[in-house]
Amino acid sequence: MDVYFTDAASVRDISSLLLDNNGRLRVIPAQVLEDTTAQERLLFGVRHGLYSFPTEELCEFLRARIRGKTTIEIGAGHGALAGTLSIPATDNRQQEEAEFKAHYRQIRQPTVPYGEDVEKLDAISAVQRYKPSVVIACWVMHLFDPDRPDAGGSMFGVDEEKVIASCDEYIFVGNEKVHAHKPMWGIPHEKLTPSWLYSRAVNGSRDFIAIWRRAQYRSAHSQTTAGTEPRDVDGVQ
């Protein structure tokens, strides 16, 4: 993502709107963020190691979507979304490691402020442990595939195709430009762009919710790979 400011000193600090008295990210009505600018959200996100901002409307949407199904969040970071939804929060917490801390010190940015209740588990381990029907992820990086270098990603990223193949629904919240090259766009999905999604992106593209279903994945996979079952995670069906 492009990170830039015309003059950071002249941009309003919106921390008092988005953080509680203990400095933790709050889930707030979308109206609060509607009254902020993209530059204000970017500056806040960069200063606090945050990328997207959960709203009450997003939480209402997700509650209606999961309807009591076993659900986890991967790449949960601060854990505010999972905490509000009362679901397990998991993350590989890689930015706590020395090499990552050193990198972020070098670029003069804070690391992700992991929530106390965020369990240290990578995405695949989390799916294996909890066997969820629904997996939620916000702004997670996909796994780098050396056969598809143009798609980018990270060697520490999430193998999202495995996740899709191992739960009933994978719900991803992201930004159209930032996440334009995810390999999973080739898998059938539903995409929504509600007005109550907010992030620190300043690239002019929309934030979105995308939903992948295992049933659609299997149907599409069976048409392209005759006689081969789609991948599951070590027996997780």
Instruction: State phi, psi for 31 to the nearest 5 degrees.
Output: -55, -35
Q: What is the pTM of this model?
A: 0.89
Reported as a single tens digit per residue, the pLDDT across 157-212 is 999 999 999 999 999 999 999 999 999 999 999 999 999 999 999 999 999 999 99
pLDDT at residue number 175:
98
Q: Please determine, for residue 227, whether its predicted confidence score (pLDDT) is greater than 60.
A: no
How far is the first Cα of the chain from the last one, in angstroms, to the nearest whole number?
35
What is the model's pLDDT at position 221? 73
Tell me the domains of the chain and their CATH numbers. 56-224 (3.40.50)
Place of tokens 């993209």: 38
Q: What is the torsional sign of CA 168, 144, 197, 210?
A: negative
Give the pLDDT confidence score for residue 4 in this predicted structure.
56
d(CA 17, CA 193): 24
Q: In what order do the strands lie in the sheet with 134-138?
A: 118-120, 89-91, 71-74, 134-138, 169-175, 207-213, 190-192
How confident is the model over 4-34, as pLDDT tens digits? 555 778 899 999 999 999 999 999 999 999 9
Two structure tokens written together for 175? 């930004």
Structure-block tokens of residue 4: 């830039």
Is the per-residue pLDDT at 118 higher than 50? yes
The pLDDT-based confidence of 224 (bands split at 50, 70, 90) is low
For the stretch 48-102, pLDDT in tens is 999 999 999 999 999 999 998 999 999 999 999 999 999 999 999 999 999 988 9
Report the pLDDT value the prediction gives residue 109, as an integer from 0 to 100.
Answer: 86
pLDDT of residue 5: 55
Mapped onto helix, strand or coil, the DSSP state of residue 93 is coil
Do strands 207-213 and 190-192 pair parallel, antiparallel, or not at all (unpaired)?
antiparallel
207 vs 193: CA distance, rounded Å: 6
The predicted pLDDT at position 9 comes to 81
Confidence band for 235, pLDDT divided at 50, 70 and 90: very low
Judged by DSSP in three states, 90 sits in strand
For a pLDDT cut of 70, what percent of the chain falls above it?
Answer: 91
pLDDT, residue 226, reads: 52
- As a whole number, mean pLDDT of residues 140-148 equals 93
Cβ-count burial of 135 within 10 angstroms (0-12 exposed, 13-18 middle, 19+ buried)? buried
- 10 by Cβ neighbours in 10 Å (0-12 / 13-18 / 19+) ranks as exposed
pLDDT at 222: 72
| HSE-CB for 215 with a 13 A CA cutoff | 4
